[in-house]
Amino acid sequence: GAGVSQTPSNKVTEKGKYVELRCDPISGHTALYWYRQSLGQGPEFLIYFQGTGAADDSGLPNDRFFAVRPEGSVSTLKIQRTERGDSAVYLCASSPRGDNTGELFFGEGSRLTVL
- Binding of another protein by 20 (CB under 8 A): no
**Contact flag: residue 10 with another protein (CB under 8 A):** no
The DSSP H or E segment spanning 24 is strand 19-24
Residue 60 and residue 46 in contact, taking contact as beta carbons nearer than 8 Å: yes
User: Distances from the Cα of 88 to the Cαs of 9, 23, 33, 92, 97, in angstroms?
Assistant: 12, 16, 16, 13, 29
**Among residue numbers 39 through 78, which ones bind another protein (CB under 8 A)?**
40-45, 48, 50, 55-56, 59
Segment holding 110, helix H or strand E: strand 110-114
How many of the chain's residues bind another protein (CB under 8 A)?
27
- Nearest distance from C-beta of residue 81 to another protein, angstroms: 26
Closest CB to another protein among residues 6, 82: 6
Is position 90 an interface residue for another protein (rule: CB under 8 A)?
Answer: no
Residues that bind another protein in the complex, under the rule CB under 8 A: 3-4, 31, 33, 35, 40-45, 48, 50, 55-56, 59, 91, 93, 101-109
